[in-house]
Chains A and B, each alone.
Chain A
Amino acid sequence: MGESIIAFLDTWSPLDLVLIGQNFDRFLWGALVTLQLTVISLVVGGLLSIPLAIIRAGNNPFLNAPVWAFTYLFRGTPLLVQTYLIYYGLGQFEWVRESVLWDPILSKAWWCALIAFSLNTAAYTTELLRGSIETTSVGEVEAAKACGLGKWMRLRRIVLPSAFRRALPAYSNEVIFMLHGSVVASTITIQDLLGVGRWLNGRYYLAYEGFITAAVFYLVIVLLISRGFRLWEKNWLQHLYPRESVETKPKKGVASFRI
């Protein structure tokens, strides 16, 4: 039974499904590398972006200008070039090659990708958070002031929690962009999902199998991420949804009324 299925797939499938099946564990490892790079850089970038966003939303020109320059540079240029700059570029300087960081970190593709991705997502998340910090309603801040909360307390208790919530829908896009951006890792020799796909195609001289398998993997991950964020939003943003939406479908036999 099993053998006849394999024989059938071998002769009739346009894709070499048997070969994909044989290398499935490699794709799983690749997915792990992709997820690892994406998640770690999102965490590092996210942590970096919080103080930067607070600076950007504040009005200290000496702090604001360099942060603005950082976000402008990283948002205005391709991630591929940023990664190349760090991985291939830093070796140009002798003092970098002789520093203690060279051997364990800066000469390794994985670390360079991680640094580039973290800085990139930090820049995008900073501007996103700044937007949602600036749209905090004035009344909330005034109320906090009236209650005698200090500047940091206001930030920690009032501004940031609501800013995080409001940034959530836009942040889900950033997460997906980061996952998509992580394919750049495969161009600097890392065996991530796409790297495995490219390896498979190169090894067996194929044109579709590796890329299509990688594409399906990415698609599934993206669908899972967006599903997860939708659940999260439902939990966290419940109080922001319009109330009328509950009453738009009046139950049968119950007179509908609006306040």
Chain B
Amino acid sequence: MNLIIEYQGQLLAGTWVTIQLALTSLVVAVMFGLLGAWAKLSKNIVAQKTAAGYTTIVRGVPDLVLILLVFYGGQQLINSFGSVTGLWDYVEISQFAAGAGTIGIVFGGFMTETFRGAILAIPKGQIEAGVACGMTRFTIFHRVIWPQMVRYALPGFSNNWLVQIKSTALVSVIGLQDVVYNGFVAGRSTRQLFTFMFAVLMIYLVLTAISDVSLRLLDRKYSKGIVRSDNG
């Protein structure tokens, strides 16, 4: 316990990196999810096929494989492209960018399915009513689809987020100094790896518990005025 207090600076710094990583990848995931849901529901065949391929690949391949591929392969790809075209010199992808980007894109695939289901759950008559009232497409999205989509998507979104926040631990493998990495280094130098890994475990538990509670509050906010049927 004393050791944990001694090393709390490193653990807290790592936790902050983990939180930033999780939130950045969440933003990326939501953007890709909305884009993917739009593509899957559009009438454009090319967009549909692209989105189908995207969700199949990112949901079929483990996230760590993609993180490693983007971190090592992506760097080489960008640099060979740069040296062939002469557009840029040596570029280095940071661990943070590779991790946040890849996790975002992977969970964007899961979000795509969640958002698609949520949009489909909105009664079509409401959208037609919007058209009949002369609303523009943006107004329909903003006033009719979005508020209800959020409510329908929240349970799936919460699940995805709770998995995603745990996935961020994998970025420590490519050397990002997140909470796992810092905890591991501190544990190895003090030869108390169990103590430190347990502390890291507890930090993740707190993060997921906080997310759980806040998502439940959000759910309550968006379900205002909705009567839920009881299963009992």
Contacts and interface: CB of A to CB of B under 8 A. Distances in A.
Contacts of B200: 81
A78 B180 contact: yes
Interface string B48-73: 00000000110111111110110011
B137 interface: no
A223 B174 CA distance: 28
Contact of B60 (A81, A184, A222): A222
A207 B201 contact: no
A152 interface: no
Given A84-B180, A197-B65, A79 B57 contact: no
A78 B194 contact: no
A181 to B, nearest CB: 8
Contacts of B68: 194, 197-198, 211
Nearest to B196: A89
Interface residues of A, number: 39
A79 B73 CA distance: 25
A77 B69 contact: no
A136 interface: no
B222 interface: no
A82 B76 CA distance: 33
B68 to A, nearest CB: 5
Query: What range describes how many residues of B lie at the interface?
Result: 35 or more
Chain B facing A: main interface SS? helix
Contacts of B166: 77-79
B65 A201 contact: no
Interface in B210-230: none
B158 interface: no
A76 B169 contact: no
B96 to A, nearest CB: 17
A73 B167 CA distance: 16
A219 B180 contact: no
A84 to B, nearest CB: 5
A207 B193 contact: no
A81 B204 contact: yes
A223 B55 CA distance: 13
A117 interface: no
A198 B174 CA distance: 12
Interface stretch (A60-68, A90-98, A105-113, A231-239): A90-98
Interface stretch (B4-12, B140-148, B184-192): B184-192
Interface centre among B62, B63, B73, B198 (most CB of A within 10 A): B62
Interface of A: 72-73, 76-82, 84-85, 88-93, 135, 179-181, 183-184, 186-187, 194, 197-198, 201, 207-208, 211-212, 214-215, 218-219, 222-223
6 contacts: A84-B184, A85-B201, A88-B184, A207-B73, A211-B65, A218-B61
Given A77-B201, A85-B197, A180-B62, 16 more contacts: A72-B205, A73-B201, A76-B208, A78-B166, A80-B170, A88-B194, A90-B194, A91-B193, A183-B64, A201-B72, A207-B72, A207-B75, A211-B65, A211-B73, A214-B65, A222-B61
